[in-house]
Amino acid sequence: MSAKRDYYEILGVTKSSTAEEIKKAYRKVAIQFHPDKNPDNKEAEEKFKEAAEAYEILSNSDKRAHYDRFGHARGNGGFSGHNMNMDDIFSQFGDIFGGGGGSPFDSFFGGSTRGGRRQRKGSNLRIKLKLTLEEIAHGVEKKIKVNRLIRAEGVTFKTCTTCQGTGQIRKVVNTMLGQMVSASTCSNCDGSGQIIDKRPSGVDSSGLVSKEEIISVKIPSGVADGMQLSMSGKGNEAPGGGTAGDLLILIEETEDKYLKRNGNDLVYDLYITFVDAAIGTNVEVPSVGGKVKIKIDPGTQSGKILRLRGKGLKDINGYETGDQLVYVNVWTPKKLTSEERAKLESLRGSSNFEPQPDSGEKGFFERMKEYFN
């Protein structure tokens, strides 16, 4: 790298130029060599960086005095002027060009939004959303009412006086290895370089105002209780500028009257009479797709599990669909009239009523094993 050019020469000013003259001169050079205006032009970029560095030093009276005495030698001053990155450079603009999204500099380049000041992100909004099993099964579009913080109209900003619009506080720290420059985010402006100047009533200290909005949310099928969906950019807007936070939607599943959920499978407890269990019948069971007819075979044992393939919930990833399991319970009467009692009594001795479990009858443990597979 060639020897460093004189900072005054770079900006086309003299040692007796005022701070205002230096600012004006830098503005001119910066606009001339701005990367947006000179795409893929390395030379312009170098000139742009060089000018930024010169301005960084000459705009600060301490650094300027030091430079006047020692030139480019680093001396005891611990310049932070060298090796500025583009972010540092753009961060100066808040100071020089008035800052904010609507700075003259930005509009000069057609509203370029690049800037080195820290982009603030708005806070996230959290809401709970109750869904029925039916809604979960098919997916649903919900209109949600939220109170968002949005940037208020009529708020004006000014350059942060604590950090001079850079968004950073630079401090020279003495360490065993010599002096080092540490930079930390300005706490006054939270790194944005801008603070509120004027705000209308009802607007908070961040320049935000609460507004009720109806947001349409598409809930995919297969969500589950406790899942959190996130809609990016639908949270609170950022103070001053930057990107809005996210809207976080916590799913709450309301319990269904009939169907219990086990992952993507649904479980239904069916109760039948032992007459139906013995003779067989057709019954209707509820499912998320409407009522389903099922056949109860003659001789159906209590505890039998019927599997309705594909009648469960679609996996949220969309690859698989669960089943509906119908758990057959044979209802034993709790009260009997004397007539009923007499009829049953007459069957007591019948050999067909004697339990005769064979290998076809699955006991409780067998069924559980089957169920979990």
Query: Which residues are near Zn ion by CB under 5 A?
Result: 160, 162-163, 186, 188-189
CA distance 271 to 274: 9
CA distance 208 to 199: 9
**Shortest distance, CB of residue 168 to Zn ion, whole angstroms?**
8
Nearer to Zn ion, 166 or 324 (CB): 166
Secondary structure class of 165 (helix, strand, coil)? coil
Nearer to Zn ion, 160 or 203 (CB): 160
**Shortest distance, CB of residue 266 to Zn ion, whole angstroms?**
56
Nearer to Zn ion, 163 or 277 (CB): 163
**Shortest distance, CB of residue 159 to Zn ion, whole angstroms?**
8
Q: Exposed, middle or buried: residue 259 (CB in 10 Å: 0-12, 13-18, 19+)?
A: buried
Nearer to Zn ion, 51 or 189 (CB): 189
**Shortest distance, CB of residue 189 to Zn ion, whole angstroms?**
3
Contact criterion met (CB below 8 Å) for 180 and 173: yes
**Shortest distance, CB of residue 161 to Zn ion, whole angstroms?**
8
Nearer to Zn ion, 183 or 278 (CB): 183
Nearer to Zn ion, 189 or 330 (CB): 189
Nearer to Zn ion, 99 or 235 (CB): 99
Token pair listed for 42? 């390395």
**Shortest distance, CB of residue 196 to Zn ion, whole angstroms?**
12
**Shortest distance, CB of residue 193 to Zn ion, whole angstroms?**
6
Residues 6+ apart with CB under 8 A from 149: 122, 123, 204, 206, 208, 209, 210, 211, 236, 237
Instruction: From 240, 308, 296, select the one nearest 268 (Cα to Cα).
Output: 308
**Shortest distance, CB of residue 201 to Zn ion, whole angstroms?**
25
Contact criterion met (CB below 8 Å) for 259 and 286: yes
DSSP secondary structure string for all residues of 320-373 = -B--EEEEEEEEPPS---HHHHHHHHHHTT-GGGS----TTS--HHHHHHHHT-
Nearer to Zn ion, 183 or 267 (CB): 183
Nearer to Zn ion, 35 or 100 (CB): 100
DSSP secondary structure string for all residues of 119-139 = PPBPPPEEEEEEE-HHHHHH-
Instruction: From 26, 125, 164, 6, select the one nearest 72 (Cα to Cα).
Output: 6
Nearer to Zn ion, 189 or 326 (CB): 189
Contact criterion met (CB below 8 Å) for 99 and 194: yes
CA distance 109 to 197: 25
Task: Centre a 10 Å sphere on the Cβ of residue 336 and count the other Cβ atoms it contains.
Answer: 12
Token pair listed for 136? 């979960």
Strands 247-253 and 125-131: parallel
**Shortest distance, CB of residue 45 to Zn ion, whole angstroms?**
27
**Shortest distance, CB of residue 206 to Zn ion, whole angstroms?**
14
